[in-house]
Amino acid sequence: MVACVFCEIAAGRAEASVVHADDAVVAFMDLRPVTPGHLLVVPRGHAAGLGDLAADAGAHVWTVAQWLAGALRRSGLHCDGVNLFLADGEAAGQEVFHVHLHVIPRFGGDGFRIGADFGRPDRAELDRTAAAVRAGLPRA
């Protein structure tokens, strides 16, 4: 079995440039930054995808990301905005199968683009899609 690199970082057994660490998460510099200051926020407990992540751990990941986004804006790094990005599953572009939230400082002309060819479905199609999502919600 191949060890999870993010579990190794969280346990202090693999090298990382750590920005923040607490009992629940570790945040460190991305090895392939989109822009200078690009961070990853990773729960310490292994969760391959969002469905595997406990709700309280997920909330803490997002809380820390929000806090770090503010730090990036105050850091002196070029940061006029911030993207938070999480890929859940291979089809979504996830490459390391341990949940991680990217915190990416943005500025005009930085060259980073998340693009798609967006359609304009009509209201009936949107309503059908909403119904399908509601049908997938867990029952209380």
Residues with catalytic function: 100
Residue 28 pairs in a beta bridge with 18, 40
Q: Do 93 and 116 contact (CB within 8 A), yes or no?
A: no
Report how far apart, in Å, the C-alpha atoms of 35 and of each of 26, 108, 119 are: 20, 11, 29
Tell me the three state secondary structure of residue 82: strand
Q: Provide the strand spans (E) within 25-112.
A: 25-29, 39-43, 81-85, 101-106
Q: Do 25 and 44 contact (CB within 8 A), yes or no?
A: yes
**Residue matched to tokens 């809380």:** 63
Amino acid at 93: G
